[in-house]
């Protein structure tokens, strides 16, 4: 069985993670702090943006794949995939800019996707 929507968004999220990881590495080199969460505020924000991506996208992608495997309508899978991507983007931008409203909206969208995905998965058991 193929999961083209999940595969596409997994690829997008993988590239996003790399895009979030490179600035962490560059900042670590600049401040001379090769491991840990650091005392450098910029590095800490970058680490948390990267970490949040890993933490939420992993479960989100698993859910997307299971929902797609259950035969959910394409429009529904695309919609929640897009909202998850948008939420993660808003959160990352908010972390980088120190914008609580963007971060907040990003996490709300992410939570809505996880909740709606969980409800759909349980409903379709």
Q: Could you give the domains of the chain? A: 4-123 (1.20.120.550)
CB distance 110 to 84 below 8 Å: yes
- What are the per-10-residue average pLDDT scores of the chain (125 residues)? 94 96 95 86 91 95 96 96 97 91 97 96 88
pLDDT of res. 3:
95
pLDDT of res. 33:
87
Q: What are phi and psi of 52, to 5 degrees?
A: -65, -40
pLDDT of res. 38:
81
pLDDT of res. 63:
96
- Taking the model in full, what pTM does it have? 0.91
Q: What are phi and psi of 107, to 5 degrees?
A: -75, -35
pLDDT of res. 27:
94
């Amino acid at each position: 069985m193929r999961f083209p929507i999940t595969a596409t968004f997994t690829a997008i999220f993988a590239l996003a993670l790399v895009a979030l990881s490179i600035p962490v590495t560059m900042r670590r080199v600049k401040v001379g702090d090769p491991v840990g969460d650091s005392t450098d505020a910029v590095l800490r924000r970058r680490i948390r943006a990267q970490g949040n991506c890993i933490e939420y996208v992993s479960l989100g992608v698993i859910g997307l794949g299971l929902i797609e495997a259950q035969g959910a309508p394409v429009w529904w899978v695309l919609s929640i995939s897009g909202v998850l991507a948008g939420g993660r983007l808003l959160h990352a931008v908010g972390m980088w800019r120190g914008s609580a409203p963007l971060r907040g909206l990003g996490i709300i969208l992410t939570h809505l996707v996880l909740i709606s995905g969980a409800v759909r998965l349980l409903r379709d058991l």
